Each structure stands twice: as C-alpha cells, then as structure tokens.
A = this chain, B = another copy of it.
Amino acid sequence: MTASPLRVLVWNENIHETRGDEKALANYPDGIHTAIADGLRRHLGADAEVGTATLQEDEHGLPQNVVDRTDVLLWWGHAGHDLVDDAVVDRVHRAVLEGMGILVLHSGHYSKIFTRLMGTTCALKWRNDGERELVWTVAPRHPIAAGVPHPINIPEQEMYGEFFDIPAPEETVFLSTFEGGEVFRSGLTYTRGNGRVFYFSPGDQEFPVYHHVDVQRVLANGVRWAAPVGERRAFTADYHAPGWHLA
C-alpha cells in the first residue's frame, strides 16, 4: 500500500519568477510552487509530506530516486516546456504508467509530459484579460469535488476556451465559463497504465488563483484521488504458457 503520509512533489518551471516578471512575483513572491505546496499542506495536514522541485535544479529536481519516492507529482509549466530534458520526461512518464499520480496544472496542457500522456496536441483558445471564471461541478459524487462550492468563483483569471484538443476524458469533474462567454473542460481525469492523471486548468502566474481556498481544496482532493493504491508495476508484453493461470 501507499506510504503514509503521502509523498507529494510540486514541480514548477520557475521561469516567470526567476526572470523577474512583476505580476508573477507580486502574486507568488516565493514562486508558484511554494504557494501550491502551502495550500496542499493546509488542506492535507499530516496526511502528506509536500516538497517542491524546479527546472533550474539538477535534473530539474527530478532525479530517479526522487521520482521513485514520489506518490503524486504536480506539474506547473508555461514558458519553458521545451527546456525540459527528454530523459526527465521519459522518467516521469514511466513513473506515471507504473503508478505515480500526476496533476497537470493550467498551462501545463502544453507540457511534454501531458501531450505525451494524451497523444494529442492539447491546443486550446486563450485570452489573458483577467476575466471572472466560474468553475461548475458536473460530477457531484466525485471525490475531487468534495466540499467545493458550485460554482467556484475566481474573480480574475486567464480565459481558456474550447476546443481543447484532448482525448475524451474518463470523467469530467468541472466545466468553467468565462465572462466573455467561452466554456472550458477544466477538471478532467484519465488513467494511464497504473497511474491516475488529473488536469485542472484554474491557475495562472498573473493572478493569485493558487491562493484561492477552493482551488487549493480541489488540488488537495486531486492529490488524494491520484494517490497510488499499491506498488509500482511495469506492464510488459510476455509469453504466457497454456494453463499459466490455472495453477
């Protein structure tokens, strides 16, 4: 079974912050990863040990031994998707297929790891005008929606609009609308191999979305939902002799 407490790692490309983008620093003086990690700690308490890692670290802070001991990884990237080393993407991909949970956040829709897990372009429409986003629950029984108001009201946020070029989700938990009239499938689940994937779009470097208590609650719920239920296992194509299963 999963280690207790859950070992959670928040990854951030940390580019807007390190290059000094004013809005990003105003909202996230210690980096987006720190704000997300703090929110998780607040909601998960002793149930989780939450760490962080960034692009600038050795192997982007994701060497094999770190990935090996991560139950759930959160991924935030935007300006530096191309800077992520393919070997690290391979490693994270393999870990997800073997059972590590992953939450892909906002502009992570275009990250190497997400497009590889999806198999599609993951394109979408966008407009960064600070519009009100309403996040509606369309799966009220889903554990990721537990305790969340209907709708979540985010006063200012980047618009993400359909068509979002993803495979049909296994579960659509949230749909978002924006002041401009657009709609977006904003909370989506997938299974890939032995791992669970949750994509959640609210959250941007230019707005303080990760300080929103309900956004934090969704992420905490998502971490619980994506947690592994057993050991990691690799699926391989093997010969099976007649009667192998009848012993």
Contact = CB atoms under 8 A, between A and B. Distances in A.
B119 A137 contact: no
B170 A168 contact: yes
Contacts of A230: 146-147
Interface in A104-155: 110, 116-121, 123-127, 129, 132, 134, 136-141, 143, 146-147, 150-151, 153
A119 B96 CA distance: 11
Given A125-B237, A237-B110, A162 B191 contact: no
A99 B168 contact: no
Contact of A236 (B121, B170, B171): B121
Contacts of A194: 140-141
Interface of A: 97, 99, 110, 116-121, 123-127, 129, 132, 134, 136-141, 143, 146-147, 150-151, 153, 159, 161-165, 167-168, 170-172, 175-177, 179-183, 185, 190-196, 229-230, 233-243, 245-246
Nearest to A228: B141
Contacts of A236: 121, 123
Nearest to A125: B240
Given A99-B141, A239-B126, A240-B126, A168 B191 contact: yes
Contact of A167 (B161, B191, B234): B191
A131 B90 CA distance: 37
A233 B182 CA distance: 21
Given A119-B119, A170-B168, A171-B168, A138 B185 contact: yes
A91 to B, nearest CB: 15
A181 B190 contact: no
A134 B245 contact: yes
